[in-house]
Structures are given as structure tokens and as C-alpha cells.
Structure 1
Amino acid sequence: MTLEELYKALSFINASREHRLKYANIVLKDISLFPKLLSILFMTEDKVSCRAAWVFEFVCAKYIYAIVPHLDSFTENLHKIHQESAIRPVAKVCEYIAKEYYSKNQNTITHLLTPKHKEHIIAACFDWLINDCKVAPKAYAMETLFLFGKDNAWIYPELTQIIERDYHTQSAGFKARGKHILKKIKKQ
């Protein structure tokens, strides 16, 4: 399948779990489609970009290691994602990466995620947290930042300040996740 064929196929999917899973399975069966999926994801002015993000999340949920050869391009382009329906799945993938990085089992991401990759992810997560995003990306960002804060002492004070500052004006979902993250920070 060419980039154009994948683009055309993605332009017809909807947000249903069934559609996202169908196309994720297509990519998983032919992993050579993954870089093409990323290319479409980073066509950020195009509405198909959001659909690529939905599929991207499902692919990474089933096989996070698909992203390993593309960590440079993914992390370097994170800041370009601006459509709300693309931010949420991309933020979720950042959380997947952070969880895998801090997994008790040694793995490829633990070995290949560089400080530069982490820096890009951390910057994007702080952007999602302080900007006018919906609660889901903020929740994923909080979790990702908490995890990366284990190795970056400066993150916890910044994260705590943002959560405490925004706590009273945000949604119940933000408050619940924020309270949970603050408790975890205090235990560290």
C-alpha cells in the first residue's frame, strides 16, 4: 500500500473503535505502513491527520515497539500536533512510551529512548498541560511527566505548581488525576 492509498483509506474511517482497530491491524500486519502512517499523522493541517492519530494510538497500544525506529521523527514533530482529536491519541502514546521506559523489564525503549527524545516528550506534555486542551491529554501528560520526573528532579515542582494552580478551574477529571499525581509525587 502506498502513502496515497493509505491516506485515501484513512480518509474514510470514523472514530468508532471497530474502524480504528481494523486499520491498526492492517498496519500491524504490514509494519512497513507505520512510517507512512506517521507521515500522515504529521500532515497537521489536514483532517486525515486526526484519523491517522486514532490508528497510530491503536497500533502503539498493541505493539509499542513499532515506534522505536521512528522515535527521532515522532519526538521532533510532537510540537506540531495541534488538532484536539489528534492531541489525545498522541498524548496517550507518549504515556505508553514513558510506561514502557520505566517498566521493570528491560526493553528496547529503555535502551533507545535518548535524553533528547525525553526532552521533546516532556516539552509537549507541559504544553498540553498548560494550554487549553481537553482533560484526556492533560491527564496523559500528567502521568507521563510524573514518570519522567523520576529522573528529572525539576519536573515535580513544575508539575505540582501547574496542577495546584489549575485545580480549582479545571474539570472533575483533571482534579481526580491531579490529586492522584500529587499523592504519587509526595511518596517519591
Structure 2
Amino acid sequence: MTEEKWAVKVLQISSRLSDRKALGQEISAEPELINYSLKFIQQGSEELATKAAYGLDIALRSDIKLLKPYLDPFLNALQKNQIETVSRIFSKICELLTSKFLKSEKLSKAEREQILSKCFDWLIGNEKIAVKVFAMQSIYNLSETESWIPGELKAQLELQFDASSAAFQSRAKSILKKLES
């Protein structure tokens, strides 16, 4: 499928789960569509970017390994993204990358650093709770790769704990407990 045809198809979907699933299944069947989707996310049209991210979300939740050939474009899009809905999806993809993906594939030091940098930005910044929760889990998943990570993560979680929502506190409590053991 050409990039133009994919853009037309992506723009035709709604945010309904059935539409997102159909788009995700198409990406799963034709993984090169990941590259087009990542391009759309970086091009700035919020509608196209958000809908492209919906498809990526479904496809990569099913099989995160589909992202491997497109990891560099994903990391570029990760750094440049400013769209709130896309941030939520990207934070979930980071969590998948740092858990399931790490068990079978190794991320390079540079790849880990890009993910850590963005996840700490999300955790420290004024983001929605879901983004922060996925970010803290991703950071924790990488905590054994660098000696400084556990201390920094613990400090951030403790700093934000009392002023945060129940969802934040629940995940933070779980991670803090793991960091203590």
C-alpha cells in the first residue's frame, strides 16, 4: 500500500474500538505500514497523527516485535511528539518495549537513553496520569541497566506521591516496594 492510500485509510476511521482494531490488524498484516504511521505522527496533523497512533497501539500490543525494524523512526517520533493522545499511546509502547521486548531483544544503550529521557520528562512534567504511570513503569523496567536509575526514580515518585491521584499512588507504591527489596 502506498503512503497516500494509507493516509486516506487512516483518516477514514473513528476512535471506536472496532475501527482501531481494524487498523491495528492491517498494520499487523502489513508491518511496513508502521513506518508510514510514524511519519504521519511526526508531520503535525493532529487528526492523522492520532488516528495513526490508534492503529499502532493495537498492532504493537499484539506483537511489540513488529516495531524492531522501525525502532529508530519510533524513537525519533517519540522525541518530537507534542500530541497528548499520541503521548499516552507512546508511553504504553515504551512500557511494552521495556518489558516484553527486553526479554527477547536487547535495546542498545542509546535506545535505552532515549526512552529513559522521554519517560523521565513525562514523569516530571505536567502529563495525564496514564502517561505518568506507563512512564514510571518503563523507567522501573530499565532500572537494572544503569545504577543511577533506581535512586532518581524513587526520588521522583516520593516527591509526587502525596499530591497525586490514587492511580499514580497505587503504581508508585508497587514500584517503590520493588525498589526497596
TM-score normalised by L of structure 1: 0.90
The alpha carbon displacement at 1:3 in A equals 1.2
Q: CA–CA distance in 2 between the matches of 1:140 and 1:173?
A: 11
The alpha carbon displacement at 1:101 in A equals 3.9
Aligned residues: 181
Q: CA–CA distance in 2 between the matches of 1:16 and 1:152?
A: 40
Percent identical residues: 27
The answer to whether structure 1 residue 99 and structure 2 residue 99 are counterparts is yes
Correspondent of 2:114 among 120, 134, 137:
120
The answer to whether structure 1 residue 149 and structure 2 residue 146 are counterparts is no
Instruction: Give the counterpart letter for 1:153 in structure 2.
Output: S
Q: Secondary structure at the match of 1:11?
A: helix
Ranges in structure 1 where 5+ consecutive residues have no aligned partner: none
Instruction: Give the counterpart letter for 2:76 in structure 1.
Output: E
1:46-65 mapped onto 2 (5 Å cutoff): 46-65=46-65
Instruction: Give the counterpart letter for 2:56 in structure 1.
Output: F
1:20-35 mapped onto 2 (5 Å cutoff): 20-35=20-35
- Deviation track 1:95-147 (CA, whole Å, cap 9, x = no partner) reads 111012442xxx2x22xx21101100000100111111111111111111001
Structure 1 runs of 4+ off > 6 angstroms?
A: none
Contact 1:76/1:120 (<8 A) preserved: no
Q: CA–CA distance in 1 between the matches of 2:12 and 2:162?
A: 40
Q: Which deviates more from structure 2 when the two are superposed, residues 116-125 or residues 155-164?
A: 155-164
Q: Which deviates more from structure 2 when the two are superposed, residues 18-27 or residues 5-14?
A: 5-14
Q: Which deviates more from structure 2 when the two are superposed, residues 78-87 or residues 44-53?
A: 44-53
Contact 2:92/2:131 (<8 A) preserved: yes
1:35-54 mapped onto 2 (5 Å cutoff): 35-54=35-54
The alpha carbon displacement at 1:55 in A equals 1.0
Q: Secondary structure at the match of 1:165?
A: helix
Q: Secondary structure at the match of 1:178?
A: helix
Q: CA–CA distance in 2 between the matches of 1:49 and 1:6?
A: 12
TM-score normalised by L of structure 2: 0.94
Q: CA–CA distance in 2 between the matches of 1:87 and 1:16?
A: 19
Instruction: Give the counterpart letter for 1:73 in structure 2.
Output: P
Q: Which residue of 1 aligns with 2:3?
A: 3
Contact 1:44/1:80 (<8 A) preserved: no
The alpha carbon displacement at 1:45 in A equals 4.5
Q: CA–CA distance in 2 between the matches of 1:31 and 1:77?
A: 17
Instruction: Give the counterpart letter for 2:121 in structure 1.
Output: D
